[in-house]
Amino acid sequence: MLGRVFKDRWQTALKSGEPTRARGYLRQAIAAYRSGFEADWRDAYPGVNAATLMTLADPADPAIARLIPVVRYAVERRVAAGAPNAWDHATLLELAVIANDLTGAEEILADLLACQRDSWELETTARNLTLIADAREAAGESVKRLKSLIAELRQ
């Protein structure tokens, strides 16, 4: 919960033209999400949120390389236990995008779309992926395939 509060404050500060304050809120959001994930590694939700925000930090947090495999393993264990839900697939999708595995992300998207219950689940994922796409585009990276994934989520 605390991570979400700081994430909202970060986005508000960015929109208000307060980049220094925003950077502080982003750090607090990352710390809160990481702490939540480290408290219970079986819950991938705070881990994927930490990873997403870590990619948006400038510079990107190098600890993300250690975090992604652990979060991926946590959600893969849930999937292997049977009856994965849309959030499990959305988490795997987001992790694939963070790792620049867009081919894998396209495959995961098919699974997500097949088990999605409510449109807001897809929109939440699309918003997070848009944050990543915007940051990568600002850094001069090509985001054409990523934007295509986002468009499919929003259909």
Interval 105-130: pLDDT, tens: 999 999 999 987 888 889 999 999 99
* pLDDT at res. 59: 87
**What pLDDT, in 10s, does the model give residues 43-102?**
999 999 999 999 999 888 889 999 999 999 999 999 999 878 999 999 999 999 999 999
Does residue 147 have a pLDDT over 90?
yes
Structural domain 2-154, CATH architecture: Alpha Horseshoe (1.25)
* SS3 per residue for the chain: CHHHHHHHHHHHHHHCCCHHHHHHHHHHHHHHHHHHHHHCCCCHHHHHHHHHHHHHCCCCCCCHHHHHHHHHHHHHHHHHCCCCCHHHHHHHHHHHHHCCCHHHHHHHHHHHHHHCCCHHHHHHHHHHHHHHHHHHHHCCCCCHHHHHHHHHHHC
**What pLDDT, in 10s, does the model give residues 12-31?**
999 999 999 999 999 999 99
Question: How is the chain split into domains, by residue range?
Answer: 2-154
pTM comes to 0.93
